[in-house]
Structure 1
Amino acid sequence: MSDPLSCPEFFQNPYPFYDELRAAAPVQQVNTGSGGRPGYLVTGYAEAKAAFTEPGLSKNTARFFAGRSSGRNLHPAVARTMLATDPPEHTRLRRLVTKAFTTGAVTRLRPYIRHTADRLLDALPKNGEADLVAGLAIPLPVTVICQMLGVPEADRAQVRTWSSDLFAAGEPQRIDTASHAVAGYMTDLIKAKRRAPDDSLLYDLIAAREDGEQLGEDELVSLAVLLLVAGHETTTNFIGNAVLALLQHPELLDRARTQPGQVSSMLHELLRYDSPVGIATFRYTTQPVTLGETEIPAGVPVLISPGAANRDPVQYPTPGCPDAERDARGHLAFGHGIHRCLGAPLALAETEIALRVLLTRFPALRLAVAAEELRWRRTRLMRGLESLPVFTG
């Protein structure tokens, strides 16, 4: 069985592959990339939305891989995060952190986000060439989530490197090494917070109780790692992809420049058009499941692709053309159901502020290279640029 999701062309532009797969069948068998293990890929919008809430799909990877030797050395804090749990465990863990990412909590963060964006853009040349991934898309969400968790400023560049390594497709040793490094770092940081309590989200989790029960040490480290990584990886890609979409579509760029109040309403269409998550995290069937017209047997992996679903022409006519007038709020870029990204309000706020400040500061912003020369990260999970060279003036 061929694996269309692992060829170099897929990482550069997955959408022709998604279109071809969806046209053949919105749910079909493919290699999952786990040692050639066959599974099913969901590319249709209706089928993907149903899959996100299908009770016969589990995220409990520990149960799925129990007794199987993968030859991997992934740290348990990375392998068994909240994303790899089902209710009631998932419900308990999620409840402990949800309050930090509510709309109200994010609103209180907006001045800090704006200050950080201003400071980062101060460092860019007023009339020259810059890389907006390195200069804005990476450091803005990294700085915000590290500030929330209480990660010292001197450690943030190293934390970002480990996080990026965790998504290195086809490099299992690099991923495994990074998993131990970041888990070890968060273990030490938790010890430091216990010795010197502060007002960080990390210390809130240390002190948090749910029904009178504190988080276990392994749970605490795992949750800290998840928040650290998930708290910026998706937003980094969202910012980069959104800026590129604007620069490639002059009518959208003109609207964003001349009507900055419209940026907020454009965000969901930008998410739909080029989702920062290409393929959602691992699920498997605990019983036979029917998605669309496809029956999937029990005990096999299922990959749901928000990137493909958001380009389904049945749901979104002319999906390859971003439309500022389209109501795209039903997109699946943040997932759907109980596992929907709890950091969505923060990602939206960071990207809105980044775009508004960027286009105000640099109204003549334009690409410094041809779009086909841009390089994309080699990861099936994420869809994001390695760099975004622009002329600022």
Structure 2
Amino acid sequence: MTFPFPDWQGVGDHPELARMRREDPVPLVPIASGGTAYLATRYPDVRRVLMDPVFSRAAAAARQDAAVLTQLSRLPPVLMNLDPPDHTRIRKLVARAFSAGAVENLRPAATRIAADLVDDLIKAGPPADFLHDFARPFPARVICALLGVSDVDRHRLRSLMDITLATTDRAEVGAAFGEIMGLIADLVATKRESPADDLVSSLIAVRDAGDQLSEPELLYTVLNLCTGGYEPVAGALSNSLLALSPAQLDRLTGDLSLLPGALEELLRYVPVFCSAKERVALEDVELSGVHIPAGSTVIPVTPSANHDAAHIPDPGHVDLTRTSPHLAFGHGVHRCVAIPLAMMELEIAYTTLLTRLPGLRPTCSVADLVWKTGLVTVGPTSLPITWRS
């Protein structure tokens, strides 16, 4: 079966991944964008691919013969496409913006954004489209507030970023990237002329003060922040709401202290992306007894690892008090740098939704939804919800 699976519908484990973990843990499969890749599906193998330097992100970006999931993997200066020491240098600069203290400074703005969106939902009344009316605009507004992006550019960036997640139609994806980079270049020029209290202005100051960041690295770092700060949170919000039973939603509403642990469990349970970024094996290597020749593309399928029963007891059940570690944010040097921001956004979103929209529920089952296809993301195209008004 081609990867990403064309029938990836639902918010739990995929049946084909369950079969692979049992019978064929590292299969060589065709990739939707062209070529073939080995899929690492078991928790220990996925964890190793994510942290062992023999599996290179930079090689996946640089080698034109390497199979990649999307064209974003071909952009060498992007943080997630680098190996140390370049990755370490840029990550240290970006990590300052996502320290616990820096993220807390953004909490009031994020709380206002969530409140404003829920105000609009209450004013319009149920039903509503959760994706269109909250899950997508909320993280888009938050990351754009952090970066200093205007409202006009925010709307255009959102539509363009959706295109870049496609696994096919390279011409359209390339055109979208070109327009995004034009918007980012204009943003950097504006902030360089008139600095403000935002992340882009801070990165420009670092760039212009020395040689820690080249101009292309500056531009592509902003791109990385735009893409990384938007879709993961939007997908986590919509898919997690689908994964929660009415009883679990009521339980969280009655005891918000459960929310931090519940969010970790939901991130384990629901797929947002089909996998982590692909790697290229720099030398011959084995995973679960399967020989992988040097130069092969290897894809760490993190959603599969998060449902590996050999590592996580009863993985098909959402346990709001579970404490098992998961790989939703990656592992090793490429573990998501913006985890504090993502977790704060999810906590603010759910706190606001559960306290102000009593009886919040999806109005249809997973089987009744239309699911996205041809993308590296997993989720519905819309999500009808209701609540007691």
Amino acid at match of 2:112: H
Q: CA deviation at 1:221?
A: 0.9
Taking only aligned residues, the RMSD between alpha carbons, in angstroms, comes to: 2.5
1:370 and 1:76 map into 2 onto residues whose CA distance is 34
Cα gap change, 1:61 to 1:343, in 2 (>3 Å): same
2:384 equivalent to 1:389: yes
Task: Give 1:22-101 correspondences, 5 Å limit.
Answer: 22-35=21-34, 37-61=35-59, 64-66=62-64, 68=65, 78=75, 80-101=77-98
| CA deviation after TM superposition for structure 1 residue 30, in Å | 1.3
1:378 corresponds to which of 349, 363, 373 = 373
Identity %: 35
> 1:276-311 deviations in whole A, cap 9, x for unaligned?
232111211011122232221100100011111101
TM-score, normalising length: structure 2: 0.92
1:348 equivalenced with 2:343 (yes/no): yes
Cα offset, 1:203, TM superposition: 1.1
The match for 1:325 among 321, 325, 340 is 321
Does the aligned pair in 2 maintain the 1:58–1:286 contact within 8 Å? yes
Q: What stretches of structure 1 of length at least 5 have no aligned partner?
A: none
Tell whether 2:136 aligns with 1:138. Answer: yes
How do 1:204-215 residues align onto structure 2 when only pairs under 5 Å count? 204-208=202-206, 212-215=210-213
State yes or no: 1:251 paired with 2:250.
no
1:104-253 matches, within 5 Å, as: 104-125=101-122, 127-208=125-206, 212-246=210-244, 249-253=245-249
**5+ long unaligned stretches in structure 2:** none
Determine helix, strand or coil for the equivalent of 2:4: helix
Shift of 1:177: 1.4
Please give the TM-score of this superposition, normalised by the length of structure 1. 0.91
Partner of 1:304: 300
State the partner residue of 1:361. 356
How far apart are residue 386 of structure 1 and its match? 1.8
AA matched with 2:372: R
What amino acid sits opposite 1:365 in the alignment? Answer: L
Instruction: Work out the CA distance in 2 between the residues paired with 1:77 and 1:39.
Output: 16
Alignment deviations for residues 223-242 of structure 1 (CA, whole Å, 9 cap, x no partner): 11111111111111111112
Contact 2:135 2:238 in 1 (8 A): yes
CA contact (8 A) 2:261 2:322 kept: no
Aligned AA for 1:239?
Answer: L
Structure 1 residue 164 displacement after superposition:
0.8
Q: 1:116-156 CA distances to partner (integer Å, 9 max, x unpaired)?
A: 10000000146421011111111111111101111011221
Task: Sort the Cα spacing of 1:237 and 1:272 in 2 relative to 1 into closer, same or farther, 3 A.
Answer: same
Structure 1 counterpart of 2:2, one-letter code: D
Question: Once the 2 structures are TM-superposed, how far is the Cα of residue 25 of structure 1 from its aligned partner?
Answer: 2.4
Contact 2:30 2:36 in 1 (8 A): yes
Q: Measure the CA separation in 2 of the matches of 1:336 and 1:210.
A: 32
User: What secondary structure is seen at the aligned counterpart in 1 of 2:27?
Assistant: strand
SS of structure 2 residue aligned to 1:295: strand
Q: Match of 2:371, as an amino acid?
A: W
Pick closer, same or farther for the CA change 1:106–1:286 going to 2, 3 Å. Answer: same
User: Quick one: distance in 2 between partners of 1:79 and 1:21?
Assistant: 32
Give structure 1 regions of 4+ aligned residues with deviation exceeding 3 angstroms. 8-14, 61-64, 73-80, 209-212
Provide the C-alpha distance between the structure 2 equivalents of 1:136 and 1:79, rounded to a whole number of angstroms.
Answer: 33
Change in Cα spacing, 1:192 to 1:315, as seen in structure 2 (3 Å) is same
Q: Is the 8 A contact 2:11 2:242 kept in 1?
A: no
CA distance in 2, matches of 1:77, 1:299: 16
| 1:268 alignment partner in structure 2 | 264
The answer to whether structure 1 residue 316 and structure 2 residue 312 are counterparts is yes
Structure 2 SS opposite 1:169: coil
- Listed one character per residue, the Cα deviations across residues 37-94 of structure 1 (whole Å, up to 9, x for unaligned) are 222001111111111111210001476425x599xx9689946411111110111111
Task: Measure, in 2, the Cα distance between the counterparts of 1:146 and 1:121.
Answer: 19
8 Å Cα contact 1:284/1:301 also seen in 2 = yes
Q: Which residue of the partner structure matches residue 7 of structure 2?
A: 8
- 1:95-119 per-residue CA deviation (whole Å, 9 max, x = no partner) reads 1110111122112221211111000
Residue 207 of structure 1 contacts residue 214 of structure 1 at CA under 8 Å; is this kept in 2?
Answer: no
Give per-residue Cα distances to partners, 1:233-284, cap 9 Å, x unaligned.
11111111121112xx233212211001211121110001103232111211
Question: C-alpha distance in 1, partners of 2:309/2:247?
Answer: 22
Report the CA distance between 1:360 and its aligned residue.
0.9
